[in-house]
Structure 1
Amino acid sequence: MAETSSIDSVRESLRLQQVYNVFVRYGLDILFSHFGMVDGWRRRMQDWVWDLPDNLEIPSLPTKVRLMIEELGPTYVKVGQILSSQASVIPPDWETELARLQSDVPPFPSEQVRETIISELKAPPEQLFATFEPASFAAASTAQVHRATLHDGTEVVVKVQRPDIQKQMKADVGIMINAANVIARRSQALRAIDLPGMVDQFGSNAIRELNYSGEAYNAFRLSQNMAGCPGVHIPHVYTDYSTSRLLTMEFVRGVKISNLAAIDAAGIDRQALAMNTLRALIKQLMFDGFFHADPHPGNLLVNLQTGDVTFIDTGMVGELELAQRLSLIQLLIALQNQDVDATATMLKSLSVPFMGAVDDKAYRKDFQRTLGPYMIGGARLDFSQSLSLSMDVLRRHGLRLDPNLTLAVKALMQVIAMGSLLFPDEDVGQLSVAIIREEALNLVTADNIQNAAGKVAGTALRQVADNLPSLSTATASWLKQYRKGRFEVHVDTSDVAREVDKIAHIGRQAVIAVILVGLIIGSAITTVGVGLGGFDGPGWEFVARIAGLGYILSSIVAGVIVLRLAWRWLRGGDPGAD
């Protein structure tokens, strides 16, 4: 998150007061409902003041919490949506109620919709579209959707961002981060898991999703990757009618993938539907490395006429590197093979420590003790349960997954849960491994290898071309010089000259050394030869004296040179300077 400005601080303070009022109002209502005498007196007073009907149904606790979240606004709705997707860790009544947050959100007025469209596209909706429905077709936490028709008759939906949603969400995230910092200072466990960092990351992702240009790009990229997957569809985005706060895409007919009654009534093969959905996400995760990170039932729509599943709301995506994808595949295979040690090894390799050094021996022992009874003892767990227990072990030993891997595991758990719902008689984890092996074999074909080699060669050629001078520029320059009657070639020899000078220094030193050595040896031989040969006479005596004098002088000069070189070496100078 960026540094908070003074205006943001004021906005956070005002928003904090609103959040506080909502919490107090719903909190007191929930508190009073736990005391029978106080709650009974309160109900009688409400009946007397408001003249309530006798058959009025009192909302349950999950319903009250859901209403409170909706009133708090889109940031808290997003948190509720994340919680609603974790069916394995929350009670069924809470999961059912929070699931309504995925679609049942109050819309904002159509006048504001019109103002946003005019502001973004510089024209009113009745001019841009052949038809436009002012009433919202669906409302979400950060936007609402309106049906429309293009002038060529194409049915589309227009996703319009809620007014001032970015300012409100930034204020909410700021409040959450401040609250997380206060709580973390009072809790060693929350400080160890870096709660403020987790909240900051959630806020950054949520705010990034408000830029619909990114969502349009994600839809385009997913559509390309899913082109070869049967029974899977990604909505087409009409970029001429889209901006960062407005998104126009094709109208998708369908029901939630969790609506089993409608799917069965339409005669759709549940097994084929589960396999297509599972195959699509596994391809995204394990092979493309670019995946839809929020495939909850509200984002998976089934066309009752064709049986195709459509991934909508591509605002949240994740990306995995090749090494992460390979490790994730190995993890899935290890879980399927009930290999406790391999599962522990793969999870640790995918994790990073957040509490200092990790005791590997204690970690593996805890892993064996936690998952061993299920994997070895015969009491098999499904994929989601195995991963949930594994995540608990990681947290206990100060380990956590990379954020993108966390998104990947969550997305995989959601789709596997959907597959188990659609196809309860089959081991969806085993099907996942079978799909991975099948997809891997499909990728290793002669055509794919040839295409990959072509891409590599093309990339190499482009890199070479980028490093070469412009041929047209160089040719034009040469022709211009030729017409002027001259052809100039400029060669920069500054570096060569320096190297030549060094070589010349070395050559001079070598010549001097050879001459001195020759004088010393020659003088010595002459002196010794005259003395041993017994040559007499004034001439030989003069030669002997000259030879002795030459030997002495050559030795002195050689000694001076050696001392000078040694002095330069000791002083750190350049011996080649002489």
Structure 2
Amino acid sequence: MLPFLHLDRNLRSLRRYREILAVLVTYGFDHLVEQLNIDYYLERARRLIRRQRQQLSALERLPAEQRLRMALEELGPTFIKFGQLLSTRPDLLPASYIRELNRLQDHVAPLPWSAIEQRLTTELGAPPQSLFGTVDPTPLAAASIAQVHRARLHDGRQVALKVQRPGIEAVIATDLDILEGLAGLLENNQDRTSLVSPLQLVREFRRTLYRELDFTKEAHSLCRFRSNFAGDPHLYVPEVFWDYSSEALLTLELIDGCKIDDLDGLRRAGHDLPELARRGAQCFLTQVVHHGLFHGDPHPGNLRVLADGRICFLDFGMVGHLDDELRQQLANLLLGLFRKDTDMLAEVLLTRRPRTSEIDLPALRRDLLEFIDDYHQRPLKQIDSFKLMTEFIALMGRHHIRFPADLMLLTKALVTIEGIGRRLDPDFNLIEQIEPNVRALLKHRLSSEHLGRQTLNCLRAYLDLARSLPHDIREVLLRLNSNSFKIDLEHRGLERLIRDLDKSSNRLSFSFLIGSLIIGSSLIVQTGAGPQLFGLPALGLLGYSIAALLGLWLAIGVLSSGRL
């Protein structure tokens, strides 16, 4: 039963699956559930909803974007995180959905201290009271995956204990299995020309979420950021206390600072708000351009301003990575936009297209020129960065060009940074901050040191190729001589056709069987052979009954599929 979800593992998976479908139907997403071709469970969910239809009339009047956000919040931590992932993908959802998903809240009622204390004891191997001078039972913050408590080490230093909620791993594992199953069904019923694979998206989400659940990975990211910005006068990264950390517990230096969106508090502390906006943007752009490792969720709750004016980033569970090649392409892309150079833009974009896709280059150049003309002469204050980025991503989608997930994450982070900057300074513009960083990166790329390193890498690659080429050629020739050389060809896009043909042949076989039963039973009735029942041959009546049942079953199957 429902093998795609492996629901035979436990009954909780089945209950959770039905709950998810009921919530989706409750919030008016019947059409999404219908695309999964699970009519039986859809009807069960609808029956559950009809019982409370009067209470749902207010929901129906809400915009679809808001209903989606509310549904994800009701479904819990896994779906909230999935919604946050979708909010970084303007290539998948319209701008109105992206803006609404950015409002997803991950605040829940805190667990009682007894449950957290037991989890701390499990992770630390001893009661927390024996390892810390004090631990405050009242949490500083509580979310669906973890909650944070203030503590003090025996040497007097203040720390923050980020501890996972007990049992959260099992909840997330169940939800991920269900999400992957639903994504598989959606992929089987979607257009094969789609650039985005739902199954691939969920599998990438599974990977990132499990990384986020492992607090040691967040601790390593913190240490990398702390090393990258050691001695920096504008950015501070809290210290990790490894002796008190594990996969489910992260102990950090406690940061006392003013939230970056607390404008009154910042003014009282004597901070220059426009300077803070510029400094914060430069700190983030330095992460992107110079280190290739950036904070993936720089919302106001994750940014503090210290008394000395340094900006402190918190919560490194979500980080983005840009390798050297991707940073170079990003720099060329931005420089092409600044210079209004469609040839440079097209060259960069063509490197990101799938190998199998054909692109109309003149049409791409025309669309790029129109896009640049829309923004080139416009004053910077009038440019909406979010609109600019979403329009550019939509342009790429029209030409079957897909950027990596980390670039999508960067897009969201840049929009968030600009939003914070404009709250601090209404005249702030992110593009003004980006241009000098891009030029500095390109200048570094042309330096003798960088060119020498690139040349050395190319020579090493060609030497490796020259070393392996004779062996590879000899292997191919040996296989040709022994008639063991094989080429595997795969024809994609036939799965749905084969499935539909299989379904049609099954229905045709049933029809032949039913017809044969009717004809055979009619012959028996005509001859009057065999035992009698109600004055008619019993075998004939049995044949008619079986034919009627099979015919009813076939009719129900055809009608439920919606295809006569």
TM-score (norm 1): 0.64
SS in 1 for 2:213: coil
For 1:359 and 1:63, how far apart are their aligned partners in 2? 38
Q: Deviations over 1:148-187 (max 9, x none)?
A: 1111111111001122222222222222222222223333
Deviation at 1:306, TM superposition (A): 2.9
* Letter in structure 2 aligned against 1:373: D
For 2:95 and 2:361, how far apart are their aligned partners in 1? 31
Q: Is the 8 A contact 1:338 1:376 kept in 2?
A: no
Which of 341, 348, 351 is 2:350 aligned to? 348
| 1:473-512 alignment, distance < 5 Å | none
Residue in structure 2 matched with residue 293 of structure 1 by the alignment: 296
Say whether residues 1:211 and 2:214 are aligned partners. yes
Q: Is the 8 A contact 1:374 1:381 kept in 2?
A: yes
Residue in structure 1 matched with residue 243 of structure 2 by the alignment: 240
Question: CA distance change for structure 1 residues 160 and 15 in 2, over 3 Å: closer, same or farther?
Answer: same
Question: CA distance change for structure 1 residues 227 and 275 in 2, over 3 Å: closer, same or farther?
Answer: farther
* Letter in structure 2 aligned against 1:309: I
Residue in structure 2 matched with residue 306 of structure 1 by the alignment: 308
Q: Is the 8 A contact 1:256 1:298 kept in 2?
A: yes
Which of 406, 419, 422 is 2:421 aligned to? 419
For 2:259 and 2:355, how far apart are their aligned partners in 1? 38
Rg (Cα) greater in structure? 1
Residue in structure 1 matched with residue 335 of structure 2 by the alignment: 333
For 2:425 and 2:367, how far apart are their aligned partners in 1? 33
Which of 390, 396, 402 is 2:404 aligned to? 402
| 1:174-323 alignment, distance < 5 Å | 174-188=177-191, 191-303=194-306, 305-323=307-325
Say whether residues 1:101 and 2:105 are aligned partners. yes
Question: CA distance change for structure 1 residues 443 and 338 in 2, over 3 Å: closer, same or farther?
Answer: closer
Q: Identify the range of structure 1 (291-300 vs 147-156) with the bigger mean alpha-carbon deviation.
A: 291-300
Deviation at 1:60, TM superposition (A): 7.4
Residue in structure 2 matched with residue 569 of structure 1 by the alignment: none
Q: Deviations over 1:467-514 (max 9, x none)?
A: xxxxxxxxxxxxxxxxxxxxxxxxxxxxxxxxxxxxxxxxxxxxxxxx
Residue in structure 2 matched with residue 138 of structure 1 by the alignment: 141
* Letter in structure 1 aligned against 2:337: L
Question: CA distance change for structure 1 residues 17 and 314 in 2, over 3 Å: closer, same or farther?
Answer: same
Q: Is the 8 A contact 1:70 1:105 kept in 2?
A: no
Q: Is the 8 A contact 2:277 2:428 kept in 1?
A: no
Instruction: Give structure 2 stretches of 5+ with no counterpart.
Output: 30-49, 461-564
Q: Deviations over 1:29-71 (max 9, x none)?
A: xxxxxxxxx9x9957x99xxxxxxxxxxxx9778876554333
* Letter in structure 2 aligned against 1:316: M
* Letter in structure 2 aligned against 1:219: L
* Letter in structure 2 aligned against 1:410: K
Deviation at 1:424, TM superposition (A): 2.8
Say whether residues 1:158 and 2:161 are aligned partners. yes
How many residues of Structure 1 are paired with residues of Structure 2 in the alignment? 426
Residue in structure 2 matched with residue 17 of structure 1 by the alignment: 18
Q: Is the 8 A contact 2:219 2:250 kept in 1?
A: yes
Say whether residues 1:128 and 2:131 are aligned partners. yes
SS in 2 for 1:400: coil
SS in 1 for 2:238: coil
Q: Percent of aligned pairs with the same residue?
A: 31
Deviation at 1:7, TM superposition (A): 6.7
* Letter in structure 2 aligned against 1:400: R
Residue in structure 2 matched with residue 169 of structure 1 by the alignment: 172
Deviation at 1:244, TM superposition (A): 0.5
Q: Deviations over 1:246-295 (max 9, x none)?
A: 01101112344333343334332122212222222222211112222222
**Structure with bigger RCO (C-alpha 8 Å, 6+ apart):** 2
* Letter in structure 2 aligned against 1:99: R
Deviation at 1:217, TM superposition (A): 0.5
For 1:273 and 1:404, how far apart are their aligned partners in 2? 26
Deviation at 1:89, TM superposition (A): 6.0
Q: Is the 8 A contact 1:145 1:158 kept in 2?
A: yes
Q: Is the 8 A contact 1:8 1:171 kept in 2?
A: no
Question: CA distance change for structure 1 residues 396 and 416 in 2, over 3 Å: closer, same or farther?
Answer: same
Deviation at 1:188, TM superposition (A): 1.3
Q: Identify the range of structure 1 (212-221 vs 394-403) with the bigger mean alpha-carbon deviation.
A: 394-403
For 1:443 and 1:113, how far apart are their aligned partners in 2? 50
Which of 145, 149, 154 is 2:152 aligned to? 149
Q: Is the 8 A contact 1:282 1:436 kept in 2?
A: no
Q: Is the 8 A contact 1:158 1:248 kept in 2?
A: yes
Q: Deviations over 1:214-253 (max 9, x none)?
A: 1110000101101243221111111110000001101112
Q: Identify the range of structure 1 (286-295 vs 230-239) with the bigger mean alpha-carbon deviation.
A: 286-295
Q: Is the 8 A contact 1:142 1:161 kept in 2?
A: yes
Deviation at 1:326, TM superposition (A): 1.6
Deviation at 1:321, TM superposition (A): 1.8
Question: CA distance change for structure 1 residues 14 and 182 in 2, over 3 Å: closer, same or farther?
Answer: same
SS in 1 for 2:315: coil
Residue in structure 1 matched with residue 114 of structure 2 by the alignment: 111
Q: Is the 8 A contact 1:147 1:157 kept in 2?
A: yes
* Letter in structure 2 aligned against 1:116: R
For 1:106 and 1:149, how far apart are their aligned partners in 2? 24
Q: Is the 8 A contact 2:85 2:205 kept in 1?
A: no
Q: Is the 8 A contact 2:84 2:101 kept in 1?
A: no
Deviation at 1:331, TM superposition (A): 2.0
SS in 1 for 2:353: strand
* Letter in structure 2 aligned against 1:295: P
| 1:514-553 alignment, distance < 5 Å | none
For 1:17 and 1:6, how far apart are their aligned partners in 2? 11
Q: Is the 8 A contact 1:230 1:276 kept in 2?
A: no
SS in 2 for 1:314: coil
Which of 78, 81, 86 is 1:78 aligned to? 81
* Letter in structure 1 aligned against 2:357: G
Deviation at 1:11, TM superposition (A): 5.1
Q: Is the 8 A contact 1:354 1:399 kept in 2?
A: no
Deviation at 1:437, TM superposition (A): 4.1
SS in 1 for 2:250: strand
